[in-house]
Chains A and B, each alone.
Chain A
Amino acid sequence: MSIVTVQLGQCGNQIGFEVFDALFNDSHCPRGLCSKRENEAYQASCKERFFSEEENGVLVARAVLVDMEPKVINQTLSKAAHSGLWKYGQHSCFCQKQGSGNNWAYGYSVHGPRHEESIMNLIRKEVEKCDSLSGFFIIMSMAGGTGSGLGAFVTQNLQDQYSSALKMNQIIWPYGNGEVIVQNYNSILTLSHLYRSSDALLVHENDAVHKICAKLMNIKQISFCDINQVLAHQLGSVFQPTYSGEGSFHYRRNPLGAFKDPALYTSWLEPVHAFSVWKTQRAFRKYEKSAALVSNSQSLVKPLDMIVGKAWNMFASRAYLHQYTKFGIEEEDFLDSFMLLEQVIASYCNL
């Protein structure tokens, strides 16, 4: 079962590269600490999920790269090709000349419809290369214009065109301050739209990952590269093949399957259903023992509440709204987003 990754915007593409790199390096890691047969099964499973193979044995990531300006995609392509062992498909990129200007409305209402056909075609080509598609992994940030706005648009399209496939969005929660001034507007618009079309939102907060780099890893001068690598490490360990349940002999077929469980957060859920453990003998990236925890809990309520609060304060003053209404996102759209997110917050709080 394969996963097709869609990387959007600067953040999405920078992280996407690190994720594929981590996955590749892990599956080719010599110290698997398990039997040879085990290792081969692991490698084969990883390969099928994330890479297709060219005749000469070079692995090609099952990915579509999208950005509205060329600098980052060019860098990403060359970094991947540099390794000589894996790369992105030559024709898997969609690029324009002028970015989205940190404007969700521009990404969603202008770039989206304008480039819908081209982008969906690229995705379709990638899907056709898969023997069986398990779903989509969409990597995007919430704070900018392309990842957030165009990302929301693409996810919606994926919902329409591939309704049976799972869609998981990796969203990057921006730093509390200091990235983009209109990040709160862009975030609430993104989240409210994704809620309607995505199956699962896997969240990474820049602040949290930054703390990991500072406190746990003791990196003195933390760069975005460091942050992205930590992120990729975490994602890699979640996505690599594992066994589910007890005594299973095959790697879980559908890696995204568990996320579709809607009952994961209600009070009548029995503990045994709420917590799934997936294990493998095979070591992840040279760590003798490692564990990754993916949870659906109230821990994101506070950050979500903060973002909604700040966006609301700004909205009340009408600041920056002219930048959005210029491209067809009206005050009503903002209000709808606020309503939806307040409901989500309330639902989580009522648990």
Chain B
Amino acid sequence: MTQSVVVQVGQCGNQIGCCFWDLALREHAAVNKKGIYDEAISSFFRNVDTRVVGDGGNISKGKICSLKARAVLIDMEEGVVNEILQGPLRDVFDSKQLITDISGSGNNWAVGHKVFGSLYQEKILEKLRKSAEHCDCLQCFFIIHSMGGGTGSGLGTFLLKVLEDEFPEVYRFVTSIYPSGEDDVITSPYNSILAMKELNEHADCVLPIDNQSLFDIISKIDLMVNSGKLGAAIKPNSLVTSSTGVFKKRQEKPFDAMNNIVANLLLNLTSSARFEGSLNMDLNEISMNLVPFPQLHYLVSSLTPLYTLADVNIPPRRLDQMFSDAFSKDHQLIRADPRHCLYLACALMVRGNVQISDLRRNIERLKPSLQFVSWNQEGWKTSLCSVPPVGHSHSLLALANNTCVKPTFIELRERFIKLYKKKAHLHHYLQIEGMEESCFTEAVSSLSALIQEYNQLDATKSMPVEDLPRLNVAM
């Protein structure tokens, strides 16, 4: 079995990362009753003998002594990381795997990428190498960051090039939080577009997510819970947003709940690689099946169900509802409507008590309402993992390579152009060494080229699917 390392960058990246580690521990605790350090848990955690001083003390088998997350935490401000290190997860993180500074990136991609990038390059390499050394067979780096700020966006994407050069065989899966419409960071369009260019060129796979969609999902759950529409009680721990099973009072922006959704996404993405099932799906299969051309590697994700009712017997109707919901625009983690756009490929990762016939029945049922590109009419990749998430009896993660990402990119470009036309705030960037106007123009062309690819695909949408003439063989 392989291992993965999580690299969490910036405030957003670290907050989400924190939720992820909390959930991962809970999940493994629920599955691993005997407390034996097995291969599943080793995918994200090291087992360390705390009596051994220094760096040694990795225990590969036997009872769990002390689990350490395979993580590197990076932030150019101390606040968030300090909070993590003082919180309930403090023992899970190896204090040597942190890189922090105090001044912050000032919501400036150039500061994150150019200034801190060059300042911390060596240190970053050192921490990454160390985390790789602790792995028997490192398969994937998961990078978590936001696009709109300075550190996550700038330093987070600087990292990608470092990873590509240093570990070319290891996959780079990036979870990127895109700025929503009413984002309060004025320069977020600049930061996002500059970051996009790096994602285009150096990421294997990107899972774009936006805060507004997460917030809408939470509002929906709240509505359902509070409206009393649900007859039976909700199973504890089964809200995709909760970590403690308690219905917390919602504040302005319920970031905890939102981050939990993303954490669940990452857990479900890796579940079939960690746990057994009748149709396994490893991380390298995600990229193989869902990325038909190297530049088209943006995957829209949806998680269902959002909660589980306390019924023990799940009627097929409810199971089928889970599949239908996965394709509805309300369940996507980014503003997107895959049903009305074009699919290049789709993956359904199922967990729990679901069998191949349930999967097939639903694919047959939903297929007619979805449009797939002509050369991939049956573009489905599926997996069945026997172990459900904590609190659920079954769950579904759908990953779609679909042209429905296009509107997000187009909107981003429009916001960028609006700012750039006025040269607003540009001096903050240009005064950084290594930054020129060409960085901006190149970044926006890179995005335009990507949008154009999606446009070309969309143009084929209503065309009839013709079979191409086959090879003629002499008999």
Contact = CB atoms under 8 A, between A and B. Distances in A.
Nearest to A184: B378
B358 A99 contact: no
Given A214-B357, A225-B278, A343 B363 contact: no
A346 B136 contact: no
Interface stretch (A43-51, A284-292, A316-324): A316-324
A318 B373 CA distance: 13
Interface in A165-197: 175-182
Contact of B470 (A97, A102, A225, A308): A308
Given A224-B279, A313-B467, A71 B378 contact: no
Given A181-B379, A322-B294, A350 B288 contact: no
B136 A319 contact: no
A103 interface: yes
Contacts of A320: 288, 291-292
A181 B347 CA distance: 9
A170 B332 CA distance: 41
A343 B39 CA distance: 46
B52 interface: no
A69 B363 contact: no
A267 interface: no
A323 B375 contact: no
Given A181-B379, A319-B293, A342 B475 contact: no
Interface in A49-73: 69-72
Nearest to A225: B278
A221 B279 CA distance: 16
Contacts of B360: 175, 178, 210
B69 to A, nearest CB: 20
Contact of B278 (A145, A213, A223, A310): A223
A102 B375 contact: no
A159 B374 CA distance: 39
Given A69-B1, A210-B357, A99 B382 contact: no
Interface string B288-329: 111111100000000000000000000000000000000000
A10 interface: yes
A223 B355 contact: yes
30 contacts: A10-B280, A69-B280, A70-B39, A71-B1, A75-B276, A98-B139, A99-B284, A100-B284, A101-B285, A101-B287, A102-B285, A176-B378, A181-B290, A181-B379, A182-B288, A210-B360, A213-B357, A223-B278, A227-B356, A308-B470, A310-B377, A310-B378, A312-B470, A314-B376, A317-B375, A318-B293, A323-B288, A342-B473, A343-B473, A346-B475
A178 B363 contact: yes
Given A98-B2, A177-B380, A347-B475, 14 more contacts: A69-B280, A71-B39, A103-B288, A175-B360, A177-B367, A180-B285, A181-B381, A223-B355, A223-B357, A224-B356, A313-B375, A323-B291, A339-B471, A346-B475
Interface in A303-351: 308-310, 312-314, 316-320, 322-323, 335, 338-339, 342-343, 346-347, 350
Nearest to B401: A181
Contact of A178 (B374, B378, B467): B378
Nearest to A314: B375
A134 B378 CA distance: 40
Given A101-B285, A313-B375, A342-B471, A178 B359 contact: yes
A338 B471 contact: yes
A180 B290 CA distance: 10
A222 interface: yes
B137 interface: yes
A37 to B, nearest CB: 42
Contacts of B467: 309, 313
A72 B280 contact: yes
Contacts of B284: 98-103
Contacts of B288: 101-103, 145, 182, 320, 323
Interface string A282-304: 00000000000000000000000
A221 B357 contact: yes
Nearest to B469: A312
Interface of B: 1-2, 39, 136-137, 139, 276, 278-280, 282, 284-285, 287-294, 345, 355-360, 363, 367, 374-382, 384, 467-468, 470-473, 475
Contacts of B375: 313-314, 316-317, 319
A226 B237 CA distance: 32
A156 interface: no
Contacts of A176: 378
B1 A322 contact: no
A223 to B, nearest CB: 4
Which 5 A-B residue pairings sit nearest by Cβ, starting from the closest?
A101-B284, A177-B378, A222-B357, A97-B137, A319-B292
B72 to A, nearest CB: 21
Contacts of B473: 339, 342-343, 346
A317 B290 CA distance: 15
Contact of B137 (A98, A103, A317, A322): A98
A181 B1 contact: no
A316 B468 CA distance: 8
Contacts of B289: 102, 180-182
Nearest to A318: B293
Given A339-B471, A342-B471, A222 B356 contact: yes
Contacts of B358: 221
B361 to A, nearest CB: 10
A322 to B, nearest CB: 6
A14 interface: yes
Contacts of A221: 355, 357-358
Contacts of B359: 178
Nearest to A96: B137
Contact of B1 (A97, A227, A350): A97
Given A97-B2, A102-B289, A227-B356, A71 B276 contact: yes
A177 B381 CA distance: 9
B101 to A, nearest CB: 35
Interface string A238-269: 00000000000000000000000000000000
Among B282, B356, B359, the one with the most A-chain Cβ atoms within 10 Å of its Cβ is: B356
A309 B467 CA distance: 8
A177 B356 CA distance: 12
Contacts of A180: 285, 289, 381
Contact of B374 (A227, A313, A335): A313
Contact of B282 (A101, A175, A220): A101
A343 B376 CA distance: 25
A224 B356 CA distance: 6
A173 to B, nearest CB: 14
Contacts of B382: 178-179
A273 to B, nearest CB: 24
B82 to A, nearest CB: 36
Nearest to B475: A346
Contacts of B357: 210, 213-214, 219-223
B137 A99 contact: no
The winner among A101, A308, A338, A350 for most chain B CB atoms within 10 A is A101
